[in-house]
Amino acid sequence: MSKPVIVSGMQPTGPLHIGNYLGALKNWIEIQNSNKYDCFFFVADYHSIGEEYNPEEKKQQVLELVAEYISAGLNPKKSTIFVQSQVPICTELAWIFNTVTPVAELERMTQFKDKSSRQKDNINMGLFDYPVLQAADILLYKGMAVPVGEDQVQHLELTRKIARWFNNKYKTDFFPEIKPILTPTARVMSPASPENKMSKSLGDKHWIGISESPESIIKKVKSAVTSPEGIENLKELFKAFKDDIDGDFNADKMGDTKTAIANGIANHFADFRTKKEELLKDPKEIEQILEDGRKKAEKIAKENIEKVKKIVGVK
């Protein structure tokens, strides 16, 4: 009996920060290692071009993200790792899904409002329609479940609805109704403004990269705000990396506590930094992993899109 399929991805927009790691990548690795699922983890480069970016940097960002996947613990022998644009059939399925998705549903998506507010001069159709492409990313591989934090449940619910709308319109049960795997996620906020989630878009002092040097991590943690919200954020970081931290959280000695947290974070990612550096020195290993992943993903994608075309009457 085949295992249920898990599908998830991240956008290549530069180095991952600890919010990305704790909110997604760490959970992917645990799911992969449970051996309960057939895992597909991709680089969402099509999604990433809807926001402001430098085209000359995109290829390197893709390589860097895959290097981070592997260095953190994703295993290409256990998971299929590939780049979204290298299996472009997802865009074909997204168009078909566009024909069953009401505009009103997309207008309710909160992330469209958030992203539009950050780039008011470039409110493009990709930002508006990307939940449909996200649904295609998942359903193209007959994904049965998706690991998400609570902030992503809205988009996953839309994917469930799209599968239902398609099945109802064409009187089929081809697409499964996926289920969320709600992952325990530390709420990681900006060290500089703890009322905001950690994000690279806010500026360098607002995020801590998992591949940053120990010196840089120490500098950012030491300068973290110690308002009531800031102390709560530091407590979350302490809990998340407690296995690598010596001593207890002491709010009365924040200097010592910050040093302990920073050293714990730096130590946790020591092997990761070494592995990532090795992979990026000679990216042939990364390229081979992506080629192997592309072949497996493309085979499944081709089989499923052919069936979908027959269902909708264009084949």
Q: What is the dihedral of CA 288, 290, 295, 299, to 10 degrees?
A: 170
pTM: 0.93
Same domain for 63 and 137? yes
Residue at 277 is within a domain: no
Q: Look at the alpha carbons of 62, 31, 88, 301 in this order and tell me if their dihedral is positive or negative.
A: positive
Instruction: Report CA 188 to chain centroid distance, whole Å.
Output: 15
Same domain for 298 and 167? yes
Same domain for 25 and 120? yes
Same domain for 212 and 175? no
As given in the structure block, the two tokens for residue 174 are: 């081809």
For the chain, state the CA radius of gyration: 20
Same domain for 113 and 223? no
| Catalytic residue annotation | 115, 197, 200
Q: What is the CATH number of the domain that holds 105?
A: 3.40.50.620
Residue 86's nearest CA partner among 297, 307, 315 is 297
Confidence (pLDDT) at 110 = 73
Same domain for 299 and 214? no
Rounded alpha-carbon distances, angstroms, from residue 72 to 160, 273, 315: 30, 9, 42
In tens digits, the chain (315 residues) has pLDDT values of: 589 999 999 999 999 999 999 989 999 999 999 999 999 999 999 999 988 889 999 999 999 999 999 999 999 999 999 999 999 999 999 999 999 999 999 988 877 766 766 767 777 788 889 999 999 999 999 999 998 877 777 778 999 999 999 999 999 999 998 998 887 766 799 999 999 999 998 899 999 999 999 999 999 999 999 999 999 999 999 999 999 998 899 999 999 999 999 999 999 999 999 999 999 999 999 999 999 999 999 999 999 999 999 999 997
Same domain for 161 and 29? yes
Rounded alpha-carbon distances, angstroms, from residue 86 to 82, 132, 148, 314: 8, 18, 24, 24
Residue at 174 is within a domain: yes
Residue at 194 is within a domain: no
Q: What residue numbers bound the domain in which 248 lies?
A: 200-271
In angstroms, the CA 174 to CA 186 distance is: 36
Burial of 46 (0-12, 13-18, 19+ CB in 10 A): buried
Counting the structural domains of the chain, the total is 2
Residue at 276 is within a domain: no
Beta strands of 84-192 (E only): which ranges?
145-148, 179-182
Could you report the per-residue pLDDT of 190-240, keeping only the tens digit for each?
Answer: 999 999 999 998 899 999 999 999 999 999 999 999 999 999 999 999 999
